[in-house]
Each structure stands twice: as structure tokens, then as C-alpha cells.
Amino acid sequence: MGIFIGYAGYYLVRNNVPLVATILRDEHGFSAFGLGVVTNGVLVAYGLSKFFSAIVSDRSSARLFLPIGLALSALANLFIGFVPAVGTSVAFLAVVMIFNGFFQGMGWPPSGRTLVHWFSTSERGSKTAFWNIAHNVGGAGSGALAGAALAWFGGWQSAFWFPGIVGMVIAIIAFFLLRDTPESEGLPPIEEYRNDPAPVEEDAADETASTWETVRRYVLTNATMVKLALANVFVYTLRYGVLVWAPVYLADVRGASLGEGIAGFSLFELAGIPGTLLCGYISDKVFRGRRSPAGITFLIGVFLAVMVYWLSPVEWPLWISYGALVVIGGLIYGPVMLIGLQALDLSPRRVAGTAAGFTGLFGYVLGATLASTGIGLSVDHFGWDVTFMLILACVLLAIGFMYSVGRDEDAMRARRAKALQ
């Protein structure tokens, strides 16, 4: 509950700029390009921070690391809310939001550290899936909290300072709920307690290795981890490519109103909650802790749903497009969750957070950029048909990389089982 509530709190103060974008544009003269620079700056800063913060987090107490990051992010939002000069300059706002993006990167790594230390491999899928919906809860709460602030207090700054205060309170709650590791509480390691050995363990050479040497061995030069990171690029391109452009596509091609387009955006996000839980359960119970088969199954469903979303005749009712969006949203968040989970599963506990941060770095810096800038350029220059062909190609590439990772995963488990005999 500590990492669930704490990580949901991060989303309340992650990037509230789009929620007040029209005000900043109409009342303060911010251009669409300028607002896009701010948003992309946050994503890139977050992706970089997620990797480098993970290196520190793997050597730190999760009980301290997560609340401190949330408190710093809340402070950045309070700064925006109470310093009027921030709203007069795109550059000023971008700098503060980039700092906020770096603080945001301190949320995932300690959550991953907590999951890998408190839950063994065969149960981690379900537990990680439950934790992962915190970002859906926090994302929905972000809009609700900012809307309430604007209604109660007025002024665009309230959409930052009010969530900032709430974020501070949640940071304190998370501190009291969290614990670092079972060993820090006088308990045995979870693998020993549940008699469920991890597929990867450190060997004698790792005992004297430096942090950099361990990261290089298990993450940077690990072919399996690199393939997992590349799979994440295409999964994130799918996630954001469909989500971010849903209002535009529904309006331009399906004739939807602004409100109907936003409704499609919301349905996509909400569908991710049951889809993520189902994917985690299937990976644990049906595939017995093997993540790739579950991810590939869900991606095949995404491929078919994207085909329906793209090829449905214009005269068909809008609810069919909504239905396709719900299926895509319900299925894509499963692979998003599983890739981070596989990074935890397929690396020693000492570098598990770093491994997950490495895949996140690829997903946010490359995948999100392809989804925003790349798809935007494709639509402008080649139209929606070519764009959807590129999206379907991303599905196939993600499946290919996940299949290869799955083979590596099976080989690791076989070696581990043989070593324990």
C-alpha cells in the first residue's frame, strides 16, 4: 500500500501543464510548440532520471527514497504555483518542469526495489499488476484534483500548488507505510521464506565488484536486457501513439466532437486497469511466472484491435471506435507492466531497479518521442493510413523482441533449476 499510494501521488504532480494549456496559450501567449517543448522536456528528464535514480535507489532505503522524491516534486509544483514569474516565460516554466521530471524519476525505482524484495517470482506478476494501476489512479486523480482547484480557488496556478500540498501529505503517509527489505525488519529473504528461488542470482565474482561493474555486466552489456529495452521502445510507441492522438484521429477521421475525442482518451486509460490486473494474473497462474508468453498474447490482441480501429468504415457508429480503443487500452498496459517486471525478474536483486530504469529510459526517451513527434510528422506528411501501418509494424517488432527475451528467460530458468538440483 505504501508504494501504491506513494506512486499514485507522483502522478498528481507529474505534468499538470496540459491541464491548463489553453489558459497559458490564451491568457499568457504560450504557443503550441512552446507547450510541446515543456511536455517533451518532462518526458526526457523523467526517462533519464528513471535510469540514474535507479542506480542510487538500489543502494538506498526505499522507505526514504520514494517519499523524498515525491516531496521534491511537490515542491517544484508549489514553486510554479506561488512564483508568478514562472507563468510569463516558456523557458522558465520548462526549466522548472525539467527539474520536476528528474524528481519524478525517483518514484519507480524504489517501488521496483520493494516489489523484488517483498514478493517472490511466482507471485510478483499479480502484485506488480496491482501496484501498476497506481498510475491510472493517479492520472485520473490528477485531472480531478486540478479541476477542483480551479473551481475552488481560480487562477491556473492553483492547478499546481493545490496538488503540491496533497503530494506533500502523501509523501508523509508513504514514509509511515513503507519498509525497505524483509532483512531490515529481521525477516528472511522472500525467496527463502516462500521456497521460490529467483531465476538470476549473483555469483562469487559479484561480491567484490563495484556498482558500475555490476550494472555493466547485468544491464548495459546484457543482451537480454537490451532486447527488453528495445521491446519497450515499440510498446511505448504503441501506448502513447494511440493514446495521445486518439482525440485528433476521432475528430479528423470519425467526425467526433472535442468532448467525444476526450472521452475516447479517458476510456483508453480506464481500460488499462482491468487489463493490467488480468495480464499479471495470467503471467503468474497460466504461464507460471513466464512473462513473455503473456505479453505476446496481449500484443496479438492489440494488433487485431488496431486493425479494427483503423479500418472501420467511416459510416459505422462511433461506439465501434470506442470499443476498439477500450480493447487497445485494456491490452497494451499489460506488456507495459510486464517489461518492467521482466527487468526485475531477470536481474539480481542488487541491480533490479537499475535494470527496470534502463528499459524505462528507452521507453520514455525513444518510444514516447516516436509516439509524439514521429507520429505527428507521419500524419502531416503521409496521412493516417501510412501512420497506422507504422503502428502495426511497431506491434510486430515488439512481439519479435519479446519472443527473443522469452527464449532467454526459459534458458535462464533451466540453468537455475539445474544448478539447484
Question: How large a percentage of the chain has pLDDT more than 70?
Answer: 90
Taking phi over 0 as left and psi of -120 to 50 as alpha, with beta for the rest, 316 belongs to beta
With helix as H, strand as E and coil as C, how does 233-255 read? HHHHHHHHHHHHHHHHHHHHCCC
The pTM assigned to this predicted structure is 0.76
Q: 3-state class of 155 per DSSP?
A: coil
Confidence of residue 144 (pLDDT cuts 50, 70, 90): confident
The pLDDT assigned to 32 comes to 61
Helix-strand-coil split of the chain, %, nearest 5: 85, 0, 15
For residue 303, pLDDT beyond 90: yes
Say what the pLDDT of residue 128 is: 85
Query: Which residue has better confidence, 259 or 104?
Result: 104
The 10s digit of each residue's pLDDT in 309-342 is: 888 887 788 788 888 888 998 898 889 888 888 8
**Mean pLDDT, residues 136-154 taken together:** 82
Residue 28 — pLDDT band, cuts 50, 70, 90? confident
**Helix (H/G/I), strand (E/B), else coil: 59:** coil
Average pLDDT over residues 50-77: 90
- pLDDT for 345: 77
Report the C-alpha gap between 402 and 328 in whole angstroms: 18
CA atoms of 18 and 39, how far apart (whole Å): 8
CA distances from 297 to 21, 261, 292 (A): 38, 28, 8
- Terminal Cα-to-Cα distance of the chain (whole angstroms): 37
